[in-house]
């Protein structure tokens, strides 16, 4: 059974599940490398702009679970900032944000 935790996704005001052993946070901790967050913005019909939105570093002084949670929250915070700034560029194509009440297949 996979264990995990919840993190806030502020643009839609919910807490979302996050798997305990996420590749992003594990890579940051084990390799000692920063995580760079980025966004791709559509600029016209066929042009896109790519830019780095932040840098998240692992903190080896923290408990492993606490550091994973902190890293993933920081990544989701950057995503939330991008969604709020450019909602027209945001489309989540799986059922990640099923908020309840919607019929399930």
- pTM comes to 0.75
Q: Residue 3's pLDDT band (boundaries 50, 70, 90)?
A: low
- Select, from the ranges 31-40, 80-89, 93-102, the one with the highest average predicted confidence (pLDDT): 31-40
For residue range 15-28, list pLDDT tens digits in order: 777 776 578 888 88
Task: Report CA-CA distances (Å) from 68 to 8, 14, 52, 64.
Answer: 14, 19, 21, 6
What local confidence, expressed as pLDDT, does residue 95 receive?
Answer: 58
Give the torsion through C-alpha atoms of 96, 97, 102, 104, to 10 deg: 10
């Amino acid at each position: 059974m996979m264990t995990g935790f919840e993190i806030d996704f502020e643009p839609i005001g919910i807490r979302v599940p996050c798997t305990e052993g996420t590749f992003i946070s594990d890579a940051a901790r084990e390799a000692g490398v920063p995580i760079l967050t980025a966004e791709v913005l559509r600029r016209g019909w066929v042009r896109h702009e790519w830019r780095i939105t932040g840098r998240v570093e692992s903190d080896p002084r923290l408990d492993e679970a606490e550091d994973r949670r902190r890293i993933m929250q920081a990544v989701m915070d950057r995503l939330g900032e991008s969604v709020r700034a450019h909602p027209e560029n945001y489309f989540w194509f799986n059922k990640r944000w099923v908020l309840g009440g919607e019929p399930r297949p």
